[in-house]
Amino acid sequence: MREPTLWIFHILAGIIILIFLGIHMGIMHLDTILTSLGVGYKNPLNWSSVLIRNKALFFTITYILLLGAALYHGFYGLRNILFELSLGKSAQKAVNWLLFFVGLFLFIYGGYAAIAAYVI
């Protein structure tokens, strides 16, 4: 019964990526349009602009959510690719644990960066 749950999370992660990556792309590349509408940041790649976003709680939360969703979505896809190599049960188990720990490490590391930028 675990497979449908993993697949549901995969789809949910895809939706989260679609929303937050959309916001990210909008802020980064549609700055002229957004600022003319009174939202967004001028020159989003300027250090001062990056700093403003890093100090905003909304962005810290979205960074962490996007990081988690992207990691899960990507690693679930990688798991599928590896499983298609007709792996045995023990190899499947090893792949599951390996991807889980690598994903967890990257999430903690990336999450720390987002939180540290907010706090410091």
Partner 1 sequence: MADQKEQETSVFTEEVIKEVIFRVHRFSPDDGKPPRMQDYKVPVKRGMTVLDGLHYIRDNLDSTLSYRFSCRMAICGSCGMFINNLPRLACKTQILELEADTIEVKPLPNYEVIKDLVPDLSDFFEKHRSVMPYLIREEEEEKIDPPTNEFLQTPDELERFLQFAYCTKCGLCLAGCPTVATDKVFLGPMALAQAFRYNSDTRDQGFEKRLELLCVPEGPWRCHFAGSCSEVCPKGVDPALGVQLLKGQIVFTKLGLKKPHKIAPLATEKPEAKRRPGIPEAPPRTVKKSEKL
Provide the binding-site residues for partner 1, judged by CB under 8 A.
1-8, 80, 83-86, 92
Closest CA to 56 of 106, 16, 114: 114
Distance CA 99, CA 53 (A): 31
- Contact between residue 66 and residue 21 where contact means Cβ atoms under 8 Å apart: yes
Rounded (5°) CA angle 14-20-101: 60
- State the nearest-atom distance from the C-beta of 28 to partner 1, in Å: 30
The smaller minimum CB distance to partner 1, of residues 58 and 89, is found at 89
Smallest gap from residue 25 Cβ to partner 1 (A): 25
The least distance separating partner 1 from the CB of residue 66, rounded to whole angstroms, comes to: 23
Nearer of residues 16 and 66 to partner 1, judged by Cβ: 16
Which amino acid, 117? Answer: A
Select 83 or 101, whichever has its Cβ closest to partner 1.
83
